[in-house]
Amino acid sequence: MALAAFLLIATIAVAAALGLVLKRNPIHGALFLVVNLGSIAALYLLMGYEFLAFAQVIVYAGAIMVLFVFAIMVLIPGKEETGPDPRRPWRLLAGPLAAVLLLELVVVVAARRAAPAAPPPPPGFPAGLSILFTDFLFPFELTSVLLLAAMVGVLLLARRRA
Amino acid sequence: MIPEAYYLALSAVLFTIGVAGVLVRRNPLVIFMSIELAVNAANLALVAFGQRSGGAEGQALVLFVMAVAAAEVSVGLAIIVVIFRARQRLSIDDLSLLRW
């Protein structure tokens, strides 16, 4: 049962990823990416990590994709990929290169040592992720500084110079 | 319980598709979205490995990756908007100013 669900979700994720890469219109690509991020959130749920799944939906499928769609609406791209490709031979090389990368990854995954018997997944936020406030407290605080720095930087970059 | 290797295989496929998107596409926005796809594939692998220890370290790391990705996307999109304002075009092939 869980395996069937995994295979279904994985198929949707791969199809949506292919749609992002192959579809010409960036807004279609953005919607495909939302589907892909949602299916990964479903995989997190399948593993029993509810908090991660909701964070994925809120942060990625919510905040980040809204930003992308805004950017697409503001810039109205789409004309870039019409007309002759000035670097066509190089782009044709991308397929074989990606195939080599996939081969490498599969070899690495296949060659790794088998996992020890997996213990049951830890519970959600209250017990498991409280390490965010103990062991990982410093990176956690650092993250807030990073987000603040990013916000100030974006304001500076996007400001219209009068 | 689904074996860890399945998650890793899916993660490898998604990562490869993301890299292929970066290599093939000409629109910087789509290239950026492909990068997000690859980051997500890495997240999935991180969570799958985190299942091994039984602790929550994997989940915590993925949360940090999400925060970094959010910061990265906002700054990157701002840079793309600035480039578009300056050049009125958005093809990645025009942006060779920093090339050696």
Token pair, residue A37, equals: 């991020």
- pLDDT beyond 90 at B41: yes
pLDDT category at B89 given cuts 50, 70, 90 is: confident
Nearest to B92 by CA among B30, B38, B20, B17: B30
- pLDDT bin (cut points 50, 70, 90) of residue A77 is low
Residue A101 phi, psi dihedral angles, 5° rounding: -60, -45
Q: Does A59 touch chain B (CB under 8 A)?
A: yes
More confident residue, B3 or B7: B7
Q: Which residues contact B72 (CB under 8 A, 6 or more apart)?
A: A150
Q: How far apart are CA B89 and CA B49, in angstroms?
A: 42
Tell me the ipTM for this assembly: 0.90
A34 touches chain B (CB under 8 A): no
- The answer to whether residue A121 scores a pLDDT higher than 70 is no
Domain assignment present for B72 = yes
The pLDDT value recorded for residue B82 is 87
Largest Cα–Cα distance in chain A? Answer: 63
Decide if B58 contacts B49 (C-beta within 8 A): yes
Q: What average pLDDT does this structure show over B2-31? A: 90
Q: Which of B19, B68, B77, B80 to mutate to test the interface with A (most CBs of A within 10 A)?
A: B77
Question: CA-nearest residue of chain B to A29?
Answer: B30
Q: What is the pLDDT of residues A9-65, one digit of tens each?
A: 999 999 999 999 998 888 999 999 999 999 999 999 998 888 899 999 999 888 999
Q: For residue B64, how many other CB atoms are within 10 A of its CB? A: 17
Whether B37 shows a pLDDT value over 60: the answer reads yes
Domain for residue B29, yes or no? yes
Domain total of chain B: 1
Give CA–CA dist A30/A19, Å, rounded.
10
The pLDDT-based confidence of B5 (bands split at 50, 70, 90) is confident
Mind telling me how many Å the CA of B46 is from chain A's nearest CA?
11
Residue A142 pLDDT exceeds 70: yes
| Residue A152 confidence (pLDDT) above 90 | yes
pLDDT for A40 equals: 95
CATH number, domain of B21, equals 1.10.287.3510
Percent of chain A's residues with pLDDT above 90: 48
Q: Which amino acid type is present at position B71?
A: A
